[in-house]
A = this chain, B = another copy of it.
Amino acid sequence: MDEVRVIEIKKSIFEDNDRDADRLRGELKKKGVFLLNLMSSPGSGKTTTLIKTINALKDRLNIAVMEADIDSDVDAKKILEGTGVPSIQLHTGGMCHLDAEMTRQGLDNLDLENVDLAILENVGNLVCPAEFDTGSSKNCMILSVPEGHDKPLKYPLMFSICDLVLVNKIDVMPYFDFDLDLCGKYVHMRNPKAQVIPICAKTGEGIERFTTWLEDQVKDWKES
């Protein structure tokens, strides 16, 4: 198995991230690349969810993945080994988020020719990544059952900017005090338009609903 490439991301010099993010979105649109920004707390199951998702979609879509972490390359290795799709590791050098320029540095290291779907697995953090538009086409976040259903109350911005909330690890629901209905209510309090899909990345439960959503988004993006 090939070693994954590790890219050391430099701090952005752009002051106006929103404008830069719009510019990046426009460039990606022209290239026909849909960029999904996937966010969550540490350990909520982003990488496992991605492996299941990519394996379900890779025959129909050309996919490339950027794994952002402060250190280590375990996630990019897992993606490459678990799916075979091109995957690079972005090191943020201690930084707690990615902005549009940092995302661009990652994209510059991917071969985007013929890529339909580029996925950015953001730094595990429910606070800072929500503050920076990465230039993504859509934002998705994972809330895992062990974290508790009250998280939309405590981390409002993250839930307000996400188009989709995946509630992961529903297989362990019996062992935690997690109220799925209440969670949905809290999510919609922050963002009435957000969709909520319960999944179990480990067993694959609910992944088809997610891949259907994602495929529809990519199609709409290309046609819009």
Contacts and interface: CB of A to CB of B under 8 A. Distances in A.
Given A42-B147, A43-B41, A69 B128 contact: no
A42 B146 CA distance: 10
A127 interface: yes
B71 A127 contact: no
Residue among A154, A171, A172 with the highest chain B CB neighbour number at 10 A: A154
Interface stretch (A28-36, A55-63, A118-126, A205-213): A118-126
A157 B44 CA distance: 20
How many copies of this chain are found per oligomer? 2
Interface residues of A, number: 34
A128 B126 contact: no
Given A126-B42, A127-B125, A69 B154 contact: yes
The SS class assigned to the A binding surface is loop
Contacts of A175: 171-172, 175
Contacts of A155: 42, 70-71, 124
Interface in A172-222: 172, 175-176
Contacts of A169: 146
B154 A172 contact: no
A169 B178 CA distance: 15
Contact of A128 (B74, B127, B156, B157): B127
Nearest to A97: B127
A67 B199 CA distance: 31
Contacts of A172: 146, 172, 175-176
Interface in A139-180: 144, 146-148, 150-151, 153-157, 169, 171-172, 175-176
A46 B158 CA distance: 20
6 contacts: A42-B147, A43-B147, A70-B156, A71-B154, A74-B150, A172-B176
Interface of A: 41-44, 69-72, 74, 94, 96, 123-128, 131, 144, 146-148, 150-151, 153-157, 169, 171-172, 175-176
Q: Which 9 A-B pairs have the closest CB atoms?
A: A43-B147, A146-B146, A96-B127, A72-B153, A43-B148, A41-B42, A41-B41, A42-B126, A69-B154
